[in-house]
């Protein structure tokens, strides 16, 4: 299902971990508007501004998948409000397919530029530049209802030694506070 010009629902359902563990990670119909909203307000404007394809390394996560990848409880990924993204490599693989790049200096520079542009131009709830070992990605979330916090930061994800590589890009985020946030101003 096409959500916006450059993003499909399938990109948000795809997960190496879900495939490996036979987890049904299809998005419930009730959550599709949340994902479309995130695409319309954040991912598509980012895609249009830089004119570069964006890889969604982790989009929607059903509860089982979220648990399997070690996501925080109550993760915004479970409500279709968050995406982990990284760029693609400029070169393709042997079959001519684009390859996501989460580790090269060029990719890291690009993600810094993406994060800065999002911060300066878009509404969001959380914008986190996350990394774990050699992998870097941006976690960005947006709520369709309720207050968006414009919270930006960096987060190092500590991985368990035994965690398998396919999970590398499907990590955590800062938990939402249990009580509603109050405006400080």
Query: Contact residues for Zn ion (CB under 5 A)?
Result: 84, 139, 173
Query: DSSP states of 125-172 as a string?
Result: SEEEEEEETTEEEEEEE--SSS----EEEEEEPPPPTT--GGGTTS--
- The CA distances from residue 146 to 30, 81, 149, in Å, are 17, 12, 9
- Measured CA to CA, the distance from residue 19 to residue 6 in angstroms comes to 24
Min separation Cβ 56 and Zn ion, Å: 10
* DSSP structure class, residue 41: I
| Choice between 5 and 119, CB closer to Zn ion | 119
Min separation Cβ 147 and Zn ion, Å: 20
| Choice between 164 and 184, CB closer to Zn ion | 164
Min separation Cβ 61 and Zn ion, Å: 9
The residue of the chain with the least Cβ separation from Zn ion equals 139
Min separation Cβ 114 and Zn ion, Å: 14
- Measured CA to CA, the distance from residue 6 to residue 44 in angstroms comes to 7
| Choice between 5 and 128, CB closer to Zn ion | 128
The first and second tokens of residue 121, run together, are: 């131009």
């Amino acid at each position: 299902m096409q959500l916006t010009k450059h993003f499909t629902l399938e990109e948000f359902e795809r997960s190496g971990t879900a495939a490996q563990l036979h987890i049904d990670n299809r998005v419930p119909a009730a959550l599709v508007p949340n994902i479309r909203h995130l695409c319309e307000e954040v991912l598509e404007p980012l895609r249009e501004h830089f004119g570069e394809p964006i890889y969604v390394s982790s989009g929607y996560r059903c509860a089982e998948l979220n648990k399997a990848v070690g996501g925080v409880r109550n993760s915004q990924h479970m409500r279709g409000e968050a995406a982990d993204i990284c760029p693609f490599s400029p070169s393709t693989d042997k079959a001519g397919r684009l390859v996501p790049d989460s580790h090269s200096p060029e990719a890291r520079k690009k993600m810094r530029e993406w994060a800065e542009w999002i911060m300066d131009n878009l509404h969001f709830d959380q914008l986190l530049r996350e990394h774990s070992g050699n992998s870097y990605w941006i976690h960005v979330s947006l709520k369709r209802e309720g207050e968006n916090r414009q919270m930006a930061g960096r987060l190092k994800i500590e991985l368990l030694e035994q965690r398998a590589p396919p999970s590398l890009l499907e990590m955590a985020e800062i938990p939402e506070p249990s009580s509603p946030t109050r405006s400080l101003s």
